[in-house]
Amino acid sequence: MWALIEPLLPPWPERSPGPRPVSDRLCLQGILFVLHNDIAWQLLPLELGFGSGQTCWRRLGRWQKAGVFDQLHQVLLAELNA
């Protein structure tokens, strides 16, 4: 699944302050963990290594704004029809 999602993700902004400490893949895992377990973002355990709930929530918003999930939907439909 990651091979389908990764090319759809927007590049990290050049002027973004500070380093990007959590990889996109780990953030996606954190997002899926929160949604699957139906927990609040702030309850995402840091020990899992997905970053903070706020980090994952911000990344989710950035990806939604970039249309990543709409594109992923189209890619998955194309895969199913192939």
pLDDT tens digits for range 15-70: 767 766 799 999 999 999 999 999 999 999 999 999 999 999 999 999 999 999 99
Give CA–CA dist 32/16, Å, rounded.
Answer: 25
Helix (H, G, I), strand (E, B) or coil at 15: coil
Contact indicator for 50, 25 with CB cutoff of 8 Å: no
pTM (2 d.p.): 0.86
pLDDT at 19: 66
Is the distance from CB of 30 to CB of 56 less than 8 angstroms? yes
- Residue 14 phi, psi (nearest 5): -60, -40
